[in-house]
Amino acid sequence: MSAKYIVRFDDACPTMDKNRWQRVENICNKYGIKPIVAVIPNNNDPKQMKDTFDEKFWNKVRDWQDKGWHIALHGYDHVYISKNSGLVPFNNKSEFAGLSFEEQANKIKNGWKIFQDNKMKANIWVAPSHTFDENTLKALKEYTSIEIVSDGISLFPFKKYKFNWIPQQVWRFRKMPFGVWTGCFHPNEMSEKEFNDLEIFIEKNHQNFINIDKLKYKKTCILNIIFEKMYWFLRRFK
């Protein structure tokens, strides 16, 4: 048994840094990697305005989709309006967590409509800043066909709140003995060193990058539970 890896790239939108995104695309092409790409349907976050507005953005995303990349719904406008940390408490800023079901449902419906209008076949949810709650999941269930959440801390993919969860635990890869590890990267902000480190890791380990369609989700797993408890406990001392 060896560890499996998944790479996720966050914050694709029409004003993303085109050169930096092209670099991660080249790496994926070279090694046949099919990443998860978190796409903001209607970005309004000034921090993601890195380049001129790309009128052909959705053509680009459709090209990714046609190559077998996994497109994820990444919130609606990426603007933080609450201080709630939700179900995966890394941060206390949120576009969703703590808002009423109706407010969240409106965002989800509007984002999903933009995805449908642009022929996205998204099956994954990625919350901006990891912050979402049970109402977010309820709205996703009711107004989208999304079945997978890319988030949470565990060793292996799991089932919870009627969704399949692919844990996302690292922000740079290193060799692990076992487990399924999602590394999250923000191409808009990546440094030269981060591009190089990512490419070196993928070059050495590309045979252990798994296509997410092949994942199995565990209902209960004692290793997952222990790992999650240890993770949050140790994080308090960081």
Of 139 and 184, CB closest to Zn ion: 184
- Closest to Zn ion by CB, 128 or 167: 128
Q: Which of 7, 8, 11, 184 binds Zn ion (CB under 5 A)?
A: 11
Task: Please work out the total of residues on this chain that contact Zn ion, with binding judged by CB under 5 A.
Answer: 3
- Select the residue interacting with Zn ion from 35, 41, 98, 128 (CB under 5 A): 128
Interacting residue with Zn ion among 4, 6, 7, 10 (CB under 5 A): 10
CA-based R_g, the chain, Å: 17
DSSP string, the chain: ---EEEEEEEEE-TTS-HHHHHHHHHHHHHHT---EEEE-TT---GGG--S---TTHHHHHHHHHHTT-EEEE--SS----B----SS-S-S-BSSTTS-HHHHHHHHHHHHHHHHHTT----EE--GGG---HHHHHHHHHH----EEE----SS-EEETTEEEE---BSS----SSSEEEEEE-GGG--HHHHHHHHHHHHHHGGGBPPGGG---BS--HHHHHHHHHHHHHHTT-
Residue 173 to residue 64: CA distance in whole angstroms:
23
Which residue, among 179, 206, 188, has the nearest Cα to 37 in the 3D structure?
A: 188
**10 or 151: whose CB is closer to Zn ion?**
10
**Cβ closest to Zn ion, residue 179 vs residue 187:** 187
Q: With contacts defined by CB under 5 A, name the span among 93-101, 103-111, 126-134, 150-158 that binds Zn ion.
A: 126-134
In whole angstroms, the minimum distance from the beta carbon of 48 to Zn ion comes to 7
Q: Which stretch binds Zn ion (CB under 5 A): 4-12, 63-71, 169-177, 205-213?
A: 4-12
Stretch that binds Zn ion, among 1-9, 16-24, 125-133, 144-152 (CB under 5 A): 125-133
**Closer to Zn ion at the Cβ: 45 or 147?**
45
Interacting span for Zn ion (CB under 5 A) from 6-14, 133-141, 211-219, 223-231: 6-14
User: If binding is defined by CB under 5 A, does position 17 make contact with Zn ion?
Assistant: no
- Indicate the residue among 128 and 179 with the shorter CB distance to Zn ion: 128
The neighbour count for residue 14, using CB atoms within 10 Å, is: 20
* Smallest separation, CB 40 to Zn ion (Å): 7
By the criterion CB under 5 A, which residues form the site for Zn ion?
10-11, 128
